[in-house]
Amino acid sequence: MKNNIIWGRQMMITGMLAASLLLGACSMGNTSYKADQLEEVTSSADAEGMTADDAAAASDAAGTGAAGESGKNGNGKDSDSGTGKGGAGKSGLQADRVTPTPTPAMPAKEKINFDPTWEYADESKIHTDPVTLWHAKGTKRKDIVVAVNAGHGCSGGDTVQTYCHPDHTAKVTGGSTSSGATMATAINSGMTFNDGTKEAEAVLQLAKLVKEDLLKAGFDVLMIRDNDDTQLDNIARTVFANNCADCHISLHYDSTAGDKGFFYIRVPDNASYKAMEPVASNWEKHDALGEAILAGAEESGVRIFSGGSIALDLTQTSYSTVPSVDVEVGDKSSDHSEAAQKIVAEGITAGLEKYFRENPVKDGALARLTKKSGSLSEKTVNP
């Protein structure tokens, strides 16, 4: 019995490592990276203008707001330079983990392409770019993937419409798209700070800081956007997170200008909305994740807005099958310097650690990706 359990764990770990390599070679996309050949790709995206207001215009007393996202058309590629070699290590932290047998080094990062067979994939209109899965290194690995979604930054997204809900019913709260609408902007371009900085630029800088903190803490990170123009609409980003991550955090600054503080978007207390799948099966997780991140932010010294949340019907929430939350870390008047964002990033990371301590991942994203790619366990495990 005990042997079976240990063997099972070894199989899972070995399978996951192999999966990562295998996926990098096939379904993970056209540009997989080996640990020793990480390259830096220069961003060619043009700066994006725009004005659309952040969906999460939430703030209004009206309590509406759509967590918007933005858009544009362009291209642009990875601007992060990879570092490091793949950490072969695994295991670690969790008490019940076993030390894996030596396996090939896990690459530091891999590209994953949009898969049109994924659930809700056909609801997305913009999904030509891949995302990047960064692997944590060393013994602190948690085998948990966090999707970090820097909001907006998709040129042309303003001109495309997608359904607000997977069953094509109407939105139950207002926002940049009003209550009652069945379709909304596929992804909007975000707000502009009082100092002229684009929200898309500020949240990308924050996303990179969050990524670094999460990797250090042992989380793998699915960077939904890591350049100025990523051709993925809000549904595509959500579908990527659903299939390749264990939770989804989208980063935004609100479109108000009172420097009111940090909050997250909770699920509206609306019976029909909470009865609609996949909201019905996941809304409690979304709100629990939001509360955990709020607590982490507060502990890190981030100023919190009012009760810390606003209820909105967001595209992200409506299509999420993993714990998912839109976080508004400030607004048009907030300090978005790197120093200020580092504190926010620490808070978000602390919140995610808290969430996953309380909600351990079973059969998580890495395991699911392994299964999807074939009978890896049969090929790699020698009982």
Q: Which residues bind Zn ion (CB under 5 A)?
A: 54, 151, 190, 252
**Residue number, 24 or 71, with CB nearest to Zn ion:** 71
Q: Which residues pair with 146 in a beta bridge?
A: 221, 247
**Residue number, 203 or 365, with CB nearest to Zn ion:** 203
Place of tokens 């995302």: 131
Distance CA(359)–CA(375), nearest Å, equals 28
Token pair of 126, please?
A: 């913009």
**Whose CB is nearest to Zn ion?**
252
**Residue number, 145 or 203, with CB nearest to Zn ion:** 203
**Residue number, 74 or 151, with CB nearest to Zn ion:** 151
**Could you tell me the smallest distance in angstroms from the CB atom of residue 336 to Zn ion?**
12
**Could you tell me the smallest distance in angstroms from the CB atom of residue 225 to Zn ion?**
12
172: DSSP letter: S
**Residue number, 219 or 319, with CB nearest to Zn ion:** 319
Q: What is the DSSP string of 316-333?
A: HHHH-SS-EEEEEEEETT
Rg from Cα positions in the chain: 20
**Residue number, 196 or 383, with CB nearest to Zn ion:** 196
Number of neighbours of residue 337 by Cβ within 10 angstroms: 10
**Could you tell me the smallest distance in angstroms from the CB atom of residue 190 to Zn ion?**
5
Helices (runs of H) and strands (runs of E) counted in the chain: 9, 10
Q: Taking the CA of residue 111 as centre, how many other CA atoms within 13 Å lie in the half-sphere pointing to its CB?
A: 19
Q: Residue 129: helix, strand or coil by DSSP?
A: coil
Q: Pick the closest to residue 173 from 308, 331, 55, 326 (CA basis).
A: 55
**Could you tell me the smallest distance in angstroms from the CB atom of residue 153 to Zn ion?**
10
**Residue number, 59 or 349, with CB nearest to Zn ion:** 59
**Could you tell me the smallest distance in angstroms from the CB atom of residue 52 to Zn ion?**
9
Token pair of 282, please?
A: 């996941």
**Could you tell me the smallest distance in angstroms from the CB atom of residue 303 to Zn ion?**
19
Q: Which residues contact 271 (CB under 8 A, 6 or more apart)?
A: none
User: Cα–chain-centroid distance for residue 244?
Assistant: 9
Number of neighbours of residue 333 by Cβ within 10 angstroms: 16
Place of tokens 């390599």: 21
**Residue number, 150 or 215, with CB nearest to Zn ion:** 150
**Could you tell me the smallest distance in angstroms from the CB atom of residue 228 to Zn ion?**
15
**Could you tell me the smallest distance in angstroms from the CB atom of residue 339 to Zn ion?**
21
